[in-house]
Homo-oligomer: A and B are copies of this chain.
Amino acid sequence: MKRKALYRKPLATTGSQAKKSEQTRSLILETALELFTERGYEETTMRAIADKAGVALGNTYYYFRSKEHLIQGFYDRLHELHRETCVPIIQRERTLKGRLLAVMRQILVNMEPYHQFAGVLFRSAADPHSPLNPFSSESEAVRKESVEWFAEVLKGTRVPADLETELPELLWLYHMGIVLFWIHDRSAKQVKTRRLMELTVEIITRLISIASLPLMRPLRKSAIELLTTLRQDVA
């Protein structure tokens, strides 16, 4: 299994020392991800990871507080991959629909290799007490950046003014919903998720474009009130 080496988190320490520990950390994470994708999360023991990486069991716990935190490492990498691939798309595509479609498509492409063990990822993400929970403070940085991308997706397109502040967060939430469906998707190469995504992007762009009509005003009001309530909890 080939993977781009995306993980690097240059710490503010002096040169080679920091580099060494960063290498060990990276080695452990790399090994863990390999084993996870090979034989699954539950089937991979911490001892096996330590063995294959050639370090002591205790050492893996020095770098990752728990087995779950290894998933957090995966999460971070995936996020970085999303950034590298999605930002150019936003610059290239000029319409809302074109951008949203291309970005969502790219996200699905990026995640595809990890479909088999993504269930575990979400299992943790769903637990309100887990650091992996996308609403948790630990995930705040990543979440904020993602929401900003969706703000970029909207930039320069026609959107009702009162919706403008709420929409990026809503699109992020939508994207989480698609990921949730993807995790449960058993169809070959997750074609169903792709179809679902294409249809919902169609609906969303339509909804946004008719949202300005006077007929829709009371509905839009309710929706905005709703989003304000929702946001208080997310932020």
Given A184-B135, A219-B207, A229 and B192 touching (CB < 8 A)?
A: yes
Across the interface, do B123 and A119 meet the contact criterion of CB distance under 8 Å?
Answer: no
CA distance A201 to B178 in the complex (A): 22
The segment from A16-24, A70-78, A124-132, A145-153 found at the interface with B is A124-132
Quick check: is A203 within 8 A (CB to CB) of the other chain?
yes
Q: Taking beta carbons and an 8 Å cutoff, which residues of A are in contact with B?
A: 119-120, 122-130, 133, 135, 180-181, 183-187, 192, 195-196, 199-200, 202-203, 206-207, 210, 213, 215, 218-219, 222-223, 225-226, 229-230, 232-233
CA distance A181 to B192 in the complex (A): 25
Q: A187: which of B119, B206, B218, B233 is its contact (CB, 8 Å)?
A: B233
Across the interface, do A222 and B203 meet the contact criterion of CB distance under 8 Å?
Answer: yes
Given A124-B123, A229-B192, A203 and B219 touching (CB < 8 A)?
A: yes
Across the interface, do B196 and A222 meet the contact criterion of CB distance under 8 Å?
Answer: no
Return the chain B residue nearest A118 by Cβ.
Answer: B128
Given A223-B203, A233-B192, A128 and B124 touching (CB < 8 A)?
A: no
**How far, in Å, is A132 (CB) from chain B's closest CB?**
11
